[in-house]
Structure 1
Amino acid sequence: MSALSVLLLQATSAQAETRVHVRNGSFTDPHVTENSYRTFGVGNGIDGWTVTQGSVDLLGSGFAQRDGYVQAVDLNGDGRGAIRTQIDTTPRHRVYVHFKATASADPRKICTGSNIPEALLRVQGEDGKGAFESLGKPDANAVAHWQDYTFEYTATRENGFVTFSSVNDSACGPWITDVRVYESDRPEGIPIH
Structure 2
Amino acid sequence: MSFPRARVAVAALLVAGATALAGPAQAAGGHRALSHFDDGSFETPKAPANSFTGVAAGQAIGPWTVTAGSVDLIGAGFWQAAEGDQSLDLNGGNAGTVAQSFTTVPGTTYSVTYALAGNPGGGPALRTGRTLIDGQNFQDFSFDVTGKTRTAMGYVGRQFTFVAQNTSTTLSFVSTVVGAYGPVIDNVQVKECVCCG
TM-score by length of 1: 0.77
Structure 2: gaps of 5 or more residues:
1-29
* Aligned partner (choices 104, 120, 125) of residue 89 of structure 1: 104
RMSD: 2.4
User: Is 1:125 paired with 2:133?
Assistant: yes
Matched, 1:66 2:89: no
User: What corresponds to 2:21 in structure 1?
Assistant: none
User: C-alpha distance in 1, partners of 2:140/2:41?
Assistant: 21
Q: Equivalent residue for 2:177?
A: 168
CA contact (8 A) 2:51 2:74 kept: yes
Q: CA deviation at 1:166?
A: 0.4
Q: Which has the higher contact order (CA 8 A, sep 6+)?
A: 1
Contact 1:93/1:183 (CA < 8 Å) preserved in 2? yes
Of the candidates 122, 144, 158, which is equivalent to residue 136 of structure 1? 144
Q: Distance in 2 between matches of 1:18 and 1:179?
A: 18
* Length, aligned pairs only: 167
**Superposition pairs of residues 176-191 of structure 1, within 5 angstroms:** 176-185=185-194, 188=197
Equivalent in the alignment of 1:23: 38
Alignment pair present for 1:36 and 2:51: yes
Identity of aligned residues (%): 26
Contact 1:58 1:72 in 2 (8 A): yes
User: Whole-Å Cα distance in 1 between the matches of residues 136 and 34 of structure 2?
Assistant: 22
Q: Counterpart of 1:151 in structure 2: which amino acid? A: F
Residue 67 (structure 2) pairs with residue 52 (structure 1):
yes
| Bigger share in helix | 2
Cα 1:180/1:187, change in 2 over 3 Å? closer
Instruction: Please give the residue correspondences for 1:146-165 in structure 2 after superposition, counting only pairs within 5 Å.
Output: 146-165=155-174
Q: Which of the pair has more CA radius of gyration?
A: 2
The offset of 1:152, in angstroms, is 1.6
Q: How many Å separate the matches in 2 of 1:164 and 1:36?
A: 22
Letter in 1 for 2:54: T
Shift in alpha-carbon separation, 1:51–1:101, aligned structure 2, 3 A: same
Deviation at 1:49, TM superposition (A): 0.3
The whole-number CA distance in structure 2 between the counterparts of 1:41 and 1:25 is 19
Q: CA 1:76–1:139 in structure 2 vs 1: closer, same or farther (change >3 Å)? A: farther
SS for the counterpart of 1:22 is coil
Cα shift at 1:125: 0.9
What does residue 9 of structure 2 align with?
none
Displacement of 1:32 in angstroms is: 1.3
Deviation for aligned residue 1:33: 2.1
- Structure 1, unaligned runs of 5 or more: 1-14, 189-193
Please give the TM-score of this superposition, normalised by the length of structure 2. 0.76
Aligned residue type for 1:65: Q
